[in-house]
Amino acid sequence: MLTQAVESYLAVRRAAGFALRCEGFELKSFATFSKTRGQHYVSSDIAIEWAGLAPSVSQRARRLGTIIRFARYLRAEDERHEVPPAIFGAERPPRPTPYILTAEHIRQLVDAASRSGYRTLRRATYSTLFSLLACTGLRASEAIRLRFDDITPDGLVIHRTQFRKSRLVPLHDTAQAGLERYLGQRRPYAPFDDHVFVSLRRKPLRLADVEAAFRTAVKQVGLPLGPKGVRPTPHSLRHAFAVRALQTCPDGRDAITKHMLALSTYLGHTTVANTFWYLEAVPDLMLDIAERADRFVTGGQL
């Protein structure tokens, strides 16, 4: 019975856009484990026993979390299924503190990239790439997968990223012009490859290449460590974009709701909760929230 329930559950979730590769394997393993115990419904004790077979606490928490969601789905129609307690703690550890780059930091990093290494296409590649990440909020992995055809008059087409969705990222005229200048240098360099960004090997950039070039630029600029010893990474450019977008959010509950939804879609977040995370992760934004809350409590206007 549980095996059939697993197949039904996976079919519904996958139809909604979830891949559930690892989760699917785990649920089938749990169903088999339960069957050997003679149990045809989700049992809290068996679920905890099965999850406890994982070697680490974090893996046990993740495995049990998978069963908890499965059990809630089944219990909606059949109360004989038990929803196990999350005795191993949270499935996911707290998100790390982000390193938020200032506009001046970004300018310095782009300038350092434009002067780093030999006078080759490498300088234009990384200065353009870092600029693009900063002004669009793209993930570095998305940027290095861009092809010539992904650059359209309406912006950049980002294909099948998280949640298997594609999205359009508009470009400011200055960003479009900067990208075209780079392509003027890049096209003759590797004419048989249609990736926008290529290495000196005339092959698509690897994420490790981007991270190494970013570390070099950070070292040249001499950026200090952030709170809790956090170091800047290429993803910090995406964080900086998100924070700037939130800082320019218009006043008013309806306007804020629309702004957050638009930003979440623009960044390609699978859930708007990932966008709201910036509000609690950045001191400046938390201060804004505290000041508005104080005005609300004291009878002032938001």
103, part of any domain = yes
Domain match, 99 and 71 both: no
pLDDT confidence band for 256 (50 / 70 / 90): low
Q: How many domains is the chain partitioned into structurally?
A: 2
pLDDT in tens, 188-203: 998 999 999 999 888 9
Q: Are residues 38 and 111 in the same domain?
A: no
Say whether both 302 and 193 belong to one domain. yes
> pLDDT digits over 215-250, tens only?
999 999 999 988 778 899 998 998 888 887 777 766
Does 80 fall in a domain? no
Q: Are residues 170 and 111 part of one domain?
A: yes
Residue 90 located in a structural domain: no
Tell me whether residue 179 is in a domain: yes
Question: Do 122 and 213 fall within a single domain?
Answer: yes
Domain housing 27: 2-75
Q: Which of 24, 47, 75 is the last residue of a domain?
A: 75
Cross-strand pairs, 101: none
38 and 163 within one domain:
no
- Residues 55, 139, single domain; the answer is no
Average pLDDT score over the chain: 84
Q: The domain that contains 200 carries what CATH number?
A: 1.10.443.10
Which residues is 204 bridged to in the sheet?
A: 198
Residue 271, in any domain of the structure: yes
Domain co-membership, 12 together with 137:
no
